[in-house]
Chain A
């Protein structure tokens, strides 16, 4: 089956630094990828929708300048948390949409990245 690889799985950084998280679709082309954020013991909240070759669409309340999303190719989307602060510590998960045959579609999730900002 299709696989989505997300790296790193865990990252610890100092406050004020930037962190980049990668999401790759390994065996299919994903025109659309999604980034979610999960607070401890809470649900996943959609942050943004990333379309290849265009600007990401952010959900209400998500800071575009803090969470930079780039989807430069059909197999890679990146999320950069800029000037990270302790409140940005969270579990970030990406998903990639596989479409075929005009109407078929599946979503595949990465394994997530646990970000801890000290």
Chain B
């Protein structure tokens, strides 16, 4: 079945520390991959996406993600988090050529001062 798994429901890191949010997908081919951020009561904002090419993708707000085909993963990273990064993060994929997104369960990020 086609699915996205975010193993960590909730992560807490200290401000200034590095961050990695995990995402694994299950699909027969390479899908289009996305990371979105959602602040409380808000819609979704696209952080970055991978379609093809360079497997290390740079996004907004200092985030990056690396696509690893062998591990079916697309982990999100940030070298130094800020208090404003506290939010819910969703990994998603779209089947190539399709527009529908399949979302992971989300990871809630809490930042300690």
A-to-B contact residues, CB < 8 Å:
6, 9, 32, 34, 41-46, 49, 93, 95, 97, 105, 107, 109-112, 114
Contact = CB atoms under 8 A, between A and B. Distances in A.
B104 interface: yes
A112 B42 contact: yes
Contacts of B45: 109
Contacts of B100: 34, 46, 49
- A-side interface mostly: strand
A109 B44 contact: yes
Contacts of A110: 43
B25 interface: no
A26 to B, nearest CB: 14
A97 B42 contact: no
Given A34-B99, A97-B99, A107-B99, A43 B105 contact: yes
A49 B42 CA distance: 21
A95 B100 CA distance: 10
A110 B11 CA distance: 26
Given A42-B106, A44-B90, A114 B99 contact: no
Given A32-B99, A34-B99, A43 B90 contact: yes
Nearest to B36: A109
Given A111-B42, A111-B43, A114-B41, A105 B99 contact: yes
Given A44-B103, A95-B44, 18 more contacts: A9-B41, A32-B99, A41-B106, A42-B106, A43-B90, A43-B103, A43-B105, A45-B103, A46-B101, A46-B102, A49-B99, A49-B100, A93-B43, A95-B101, A109-B36, A109-B43, A112-B43, A114-B41
